[in-house]
Chains A and B, each alone.
Chain A
Amino acid sequence: MWSKRALVLSALLVFALAALLPLAVMFFSTFFAADGSFSIAPYANVLASGRQWILLGHSLQVAGSATAVALLLGLPLAFLTARTDLPLRGLFSAVYAAPLFMPTYVVAICWRYFIGDVFGVHAVVEKWLGLDKALWQVHGYALCAFYLGLALFPMVTLTTRASLLAADPSLDEAAVLARGGRAAAFRVALRLATPGIVAGAAFVFLFALSEFGVPNLLMINTYAIEVYSQFKAFYDVNAATASSVPLVLLSLLPLVAMRLAERNRRFVVARSERPPHRYALRAWKWPAFAVAAFIVAIGVLVPVASLFVVAGPFENYRKAIALVGEDFLNSIEFAVAAATFATALGFALAYGAARSSGRMAPAALDALSVLPFAIPAGVLAIGFIRLWNRPGVFNLVYGTGAIVILGFVARFLPFAFRAGSAALRHVPPQYEDAARVAGVPFARRFGAVAARLSARGLVAAWIVVFVLSLGELNLTILVAPAGSQTLPLRIFNMIHFSYNNLVAALCILLVGLAILPAAVVFLAAGRKPEVR
């Protein structure tokens, strides 16, 4: 029979085996030279030069500014669609996540080349700013923040909406009664959504910190590039592993921020059967609509429109599909499996952390779950190979797609863990206690109460892991069984060879895949009679 202890222990075991063991293998070997003697030589060179510190600073700058842009775009959209009477909010809710389904690099390409160069927007801006060099040369950092923020802001919207929609309306009503809509919205509604907001911001920060493609595209020098160049140049896996430590430490920053933000104030609040309070925008209705429409426009419409134009005739879509064919199915299969397992594992771990009485264990778990993501994909991959590439039974994993799925789960677990934790913040333990006292066994309590009430957060987690897996490249190349290729490989190949029209067609299809089910459901739901 399942019990909470059994669930959490087995989740921890799976986590340790899948995610931590490969890392442990890698870090362990950094302390031993080729001849087997103990040495800390690989660490001697880490941050040894001032130049590397500067690069680290750049990484921080990119991550921080991207997070700021993502918050600037994602927060208002989340609030306006989830908690106000914004016109067309249903439509916006259905489409805002589209950018997530394109790899960040592709979004950057879209803005840099399609919109920037092909449509001449860069030329216009350069003229306006009076620049004699290219925009990307002068304002590389700003553009990097802009591109990353545009590609990633739906993460913030996703998790923030989950928190906003879990609110008890009487809290808002009490605030409206006391101070009116504006104060209530900013000082109560938004503040109470802090778990979701911080989770989303943490995602963006983490991702942008280890992001390589976009900074490289804009010729911005970051620490990630340093690590990659070492890997590529030296074959010295130990050096690469050692030099990734600073990035790993920086990745713990969002954790610290989260702990600070939630000191003392529990956001656990009793839920209500009534839907969350919607704020009436009144005089602000059309300005707010303009803001939301603008965000959706630059986030979704403009990139998609430019893709449409560059994609060209319908024939290119067929060509793109023909080219991509099986790779696409492979990618979907891996992504769906990874998303499902990661969400389940992440939620089980989050549950263990949220329901534990101590404070050290949850914090430690938080930190540990981030490691497989903070480490460069190449290092993690080598760890996997060392662990799993053995004759015999291991072939069931290493020689098949299972290793890819395992890799994705290990790598993207922190997102599922964070989203699960944020969701559980809104689930008071009393609900499960009530079920327990009533005699409901743990498995059903966990599923029908804890998981069910965290549903929105879990869906957010699933979507994030799904899109991240869909776009993952570096890990896949190193561990995927030869013969099963994935989508990103194709896309990046096509980009490299300027098959722009095919890339564009493919991205339209990816975005369509994201939006279509949601749009269909939205349209179908619209016809249902209002339920009071």
Chain B
Amino acid sequence: MQKPTSRRALLLHLLVGLAPALALQACSGGGGGNEVVVYCSLDQVYSEPLLKQFEEATGIKVRAQYDVEAQKTTGLVNRILAEKSNPQCDVYWNNELMHTLHLASVGALQPYASPSAAPIPAEFKDASGLWTGFAARARVLLVNTDKVPAGSAPKSLRDLMKPEWNGKFGIARPLFGTTMTHASALFAAWGDEDAKKFFRELKANEAVVCEGNAAVMRVVAAGDVPCGLTDTDDANVAVKEGKKVAVVYLDQEEGGLGTLVIPNSIMLLAGAPHAENGKKLIDWALSPKVEEALAAGTSVQMPLNPSVKTPEGVRSIANVKPMKVDWAAAAAKRDEVSKFLAEIFLAD
């Protein structure tokens, strides 16, 4: 009785799978035609609808490759680097800056001064036009309002080293993603000694290390941990779900460090096969409409173009004290920082 089952099941599966597959292969031609290839590290959920809009507006077919930051993949950056000798991609839409700087430093980009980039402040774009920042996230503290009475939440990063917060705050594993970026920025801002001390103390203060920013958000929202460091877009998910949470921007006082703002960055790759279409895509991405949409959506990304309005409750760059970051210095320190953090957080 088993033999016919497995044989027929196999047949059924083959039919189920091959028929549409063959049909699809027949339909999808090769490349060519009016198209642009974009590698996109900003979560598909946010970027895909916008790219579709571009497609509809211009008639240029967008072929996009997405990444899943949450899964700690090797990332599209490595793909761009590996493809350098025979580029397949036109535009890279990164959701942070450090990788962008690395790409610039190895000559993977070509300059393009987009007219849409003009309103964006100088500190968020490359002087020679290799890349432009837009729509930023901030590193914030998500606080559970049930567990933390109003006014008693930490006001500064350094507060997390204090004994009263022992075991009471969460962070994502600082080996990847924005947490890593944050760490590099701190190393650049505070100097090695200070920064190393900070992280050692965080660990000693029994930080609840989670697998990612979203996980931090979840444990804080659930009340398992009173507060945690995460990104604005993850924090906003909890807010949208109506959980009892509040978003705190740390180090906002006069003379304080400021909150780290991590912009998206968009760039034209050297040797792009469809450079003209790529430029059109960049123009469009940096336009106020897109920043507005990103601010209005669940990712609540802060527009860097001062003329773009943000919806109610969403902070704009104007009312956040951003941390001053020497991105080049931070990028240079990445290797060292990564090694150090691995020693501390990828141990036992």
Contacts and interface: CB of A to CB of B under 8 A. Distances in A.
Q: Is A–B contact present in the complex under a CB 8 A cutoff?
A: yes
Interface of A: 49, 51, 54-55, 82, 90, 93-94, 105, 117, 134, 161, 165, 212-213, 216-219, 221, 225-226, 228-235, 237, 329-330, 332-333, 335-337, 340, 376-378, 381-382, 385-386, 389-391, 395, 398-401, 455-456, 459, 462, 466, 473-474, 477-485, 489-490, 492-498, 513, 517-518, 520-522, 525
B128 interface: no
A482 B65 contact: yes
A94 B5 CA distance: 9
Interface of B: 1-10, 12-14, 16-18, 20-21, 24-25, 28, 30-31, 37-39, 43-45, 61-79, 81-83, 85-86, 88-89, 102, 173, 175-176, 180, 209-212, 214, 218, 222, 224, 237, 241, 298, 334-335, 338, 342-343, 346-348
A115 B241 CA distance: 20
A117 B222 contact: yes
Contacts of A480: 65
B39 A482 contact: yes
A147 to B, nearest CB: 14
Nearest to B74: A378
Given A90-B1, A482-B37, A521-B12, A235 B17 contact: no
Which 3 residue pairs of A and B lie closest in terms of their CB atoms, listed nearest first?
A483-B63, A333-B21, A336-B17
Given A482-B37, A525-B5, A492 B70 contact: yes
Contacts of A54: 347-348
B171 to A, nearest CB: 12
A386 B82 contact: yes
B121 to A, nearest CB: 28
B347 A498 contact: no
B17 A477 contact: no
B346 A389 contact: no
Contacts of B8: 517, 521
Given A219-B210, A228-B176, A390-B86, 19 more contacts: A93-B2, A225-B175, A232-B72, A232-B176, A235-B102, A333-B17, A333-B20, A333-B21, A382-B78, A382-B82, A399-B88, A400-B30, A459-B7, A477-B65, A480-B65, A489-B44, A493-B66, A498-B214, A525-B4
14 contacts: A93-B5, A117-B222, A161-B2, A231-B74, A232-B74, A232-B176, A237-B78, A335-B17, A378-B78, A381-B79, A485-B44, A493-B66, A493-B70, A521-B9
A19 B214 CA distance: 36
Contacts of B67: 477
B74 A474 contact: yes
Contacts of A49: 343
Contacts of A490: 44
Given A229-B175, A477-B67, A496 B78 contact: no
A502 B209 CA distance: 27
A521 B11 CA distance: 11
Contact of A482 (B68, B82, B88, B102): B88
B64 A482 contact: yes
Contact of A221 (B21, B218, B347): B347
B10 A459 contact: yes
A492 B68 contact: yes
B266 to A, nearest CB: 16
Nearest to B86: A389
A429 to B, nearest CB: 22
B20 A329 contact: yes
Contacts of A117: 222
Nearest to B1: A525
Nearest to B15: A517
B63 A226 contact: no
A216 B218 CA distance: 16
A493 B68 contact: yes
B12 A497 contact: no
Contacts of A386: 82
Contact of B79 (A55, A213, A477): A477
A320 to B, nearest CB: 14
A478 B5 contact: no
Given A333-B24, A482-B89, A525-B5, A134 B224 contact: yes
A233 B334 contact: yes
A336 B222 CA distance: 41
Contacts of B346: 51, 55, 221, 225-226, 229
B14 A336 contact: yes
Given A55-B346, A225-B346, A332 B21 contact: yes
Given A233-B338, A399-B88, A493-B45, A462 B10 contact: yes
Contacts of B81: 235
Nearest to B219: A134
A100 B69 CA distance: 24
A459 B65 contact: no
Contacts of B173: 216, 219
B12 A228 contact: no
A334 to B, nearest CB: 8
Nearest to B6: A459
B13 A466 contact: yes
Contacts of A235: 77-78, 81, 102
B74 to A, nearest CB: 4
Contacts of B89: 482
Contacts of B70: 492-493, 495-496
Given A336-B21, A493-B68, A389 B83 contact: yes
A473 B73 contact: yes
Contacts of A493: 43-45, 66, 68, 70
A163 to B, nearest CB: 13
B25 A522 contact: no
A332 B72 contact: no
Contacts of B21: 329, 332-333, 336-337
B275 to A, nearest CB: 16
A483 B227 CA distance: 39
A518 B61 CA distance: 40
Residue among A226, A377, A498 having the largest count of chain B Cβ atoms under 10 Å: A498
B72 A216 contact: yes
B13 A517 contact: yes
A208 B43 CA distance: 28
Nearest to A400: B30
A394 to B, nearest CB: 9
Given A134-B224, A329-B21, A517-B16, A489 B66 contact: yes
Contact of A496 (B175, B210, B214, B348): B214
Residue among A400, A478, A494 having the largest count of chain B Cβ atoms under 10 Å: A478
A382 B83 CA distance: 9
Given A336-B21, A474-B73, A493-B45, A456 B83 contact: no
A217 B4 CA distance: 40
B328 to A, nearest CB: 16
A390 B84 CA distance: 10
Nearest to A333: B21
Residue among A401, A497, A498 having the largest count of chain B Cβ atoms under 10 Å: A497
Nearest to B217: A498
Contacts of A517: 8-9, 12-13, 16
A65 to B, nearest CB: 17
Contacts of A55: 346
A479 B79 CA distance: 8
Contacts of B68: 473, 477, 489, 492-493, 496
B338 A234 contact: yes
Contacts of B335: 233-234
